[in-house]
Structure 1
Amino acid sequence: MIASPRKLARRGILGINGRNTRYVADGNPRRRMPLVNDKVKTKELAREAGVPVPELYGVIEMQAQIKRLRHMLDEKRSFVIKPACGAQGDGIMVVEGENRKGWRLASGRVLSDRALRHHISNVLSGMYSLNGLQDVAMLEETVRFADIFGGVAEAGVPDLRIIVYRGVPTMAMARIPTRESDGKANLHKGGIGLGIDISTGLTTLGVQYDRVIDDHPESGAPLRGIQMPEWRAILDMSARCHGPTGLDYLGVDIVFDEMRGPLLLELNARPGLAVQLANCDGLDRRLLLIADWVRPEHTQDERVDFALHSFGPP
């Protein structure tokens, strides 16, 4: 049975219209949006703010530059191709290496050199961009996933999505790829969302599509009680993204590298609302609490402390 709008409002559930009108339109100036919609600009901004990011090997801006692919890679055979203005993981290609048949992808497929260049050409044409306009292709370091999820993540690279409001970490979840999602950490493609208790960094429950689950549907591994490492550092990283972007309402995506620790993948000015389902709690209640408390003079440490002390399990 679907809950009524009034009942959802009483639980503090935030809908798309509320997100867009009260938080995105009011708190995210349009002139600042390109800073997060363009991943190249996001990476530059993060470096200036001291937030670690995967290394950028090169940027391909026009068709004629595709022939310089190997030169940009400088003998690196493991890399990621990303549309700078893409969304929902579309157009991202993870290349694990090269053999005599071509480029070997993380999925196990092998692409010829011609097919790989054709994919980059499609990225430049805007096939995967947010607005359908011409785009640029990023060549980026492959993150070597730190195995913090045990048998929970068997394919692809899990990441964390943290909602940040006015510099306060507000709600968090882990996004776990599955074979069904083709190794991508996208919930709408069959990935798993794991709610995370902001106060402890422990996973609480799992959701796949609109169904609550306790165990991984493929491996059977339990989903509750997984401790996120360096949790305070992760919250600090996410809070630090508020000032440089000038955006009040942000989705911060973080991944764990086995050598470098947590790295910022990207920012999102209109993050999805599935984080509420993964946490069995409403965003609006927390956002209103932050709005009542936060002041410009509050330091980053104070904002993180507020999150740690205010947002335990509902």
Structure 2
Amino acid sequence: DSLLTNPDVRGITFVGSTEVGKHIYSTAAAAGKRGQALTEAKNHALLLEDAVLERSIAGIINSTYGCAGQRCMALPVVVMQDSIADEAIEMLATMAKALKLGPAYLPESQLGPVITAKHREWVHSCIERGVAEGADLVLDGRGASVEGYEGGFYVGPTIFDNVRPGNFVGDSEIFGPVTSIKRVSSFEEGLAVMNANRFANGSSIYTSSGYYAREFAKGTHAGMVGVNVGIPVPFSTFPFTGHKDSFFGDLHAMGKDGVAFFTETKAVTSVWFTDEHAKEKVTTWDGTLTRG
């Protein structure tokens, strides 16, 4: 807190957990400083029955399991229409099983380890909690190991089906290669399920319908929106725009917001006088000049 309240500090920017981010932002604001806290996420993808299925599932695989799921813009939750869910989950599980585990520095590796042994234990505990809460474990990544690299902290691809409202694995950030499937009957129900989450960093829709893409972009609570895109991160010229419990502040990171956050603006009003002006008599404070 001494850093947050130090008179020499003009502003605070932070990336981390929601609990800490809330404290940092509120403390900085109370001290009269500008604050910017980018916090947790639980990004959702909405997979509609009119989507190009194989390409959509490939995008979801790359999004969910890239970086072993350890990035805030992954899509760890997929909201699927019932009409295609069974086929989509089978395809998802088949593609996930085919991923080659290994050290990230090897070109052939497709799924690397998580960052520490402690974090692997955390991911395992989340999987156990998902099972305890009644979600269907389609693919279990616990016990994963790579020959020659047994000391690595590997977690294999994990998939839960029939994740319900209130289930921890579908609502909270895990930061690991764990996919949660939520089934819905329609676009409207899917959007409502996504917006019920307390986080609103990014969201994507997989569809062939321009109408649904437009309605999704308007209706999603997330600040970064993808259409048939697995990682809906904009170019750096646009703001990194989370909302709800994913961001605390007014000016976002990157883009014009990022520049404005680290800039203090000034407006200068000035008048210049010549030697001729110096000879003139000023009769009022407002600058009216009497000549003669």
TM over 0.5: no
Q: TM-score, normalised by structure 2?
A: 0.26
Q: TM-score, normalised by structure 1?
A: 0.25
Over alpha carbons, which structure has the higher Rg? 2
Higher strand share: 1
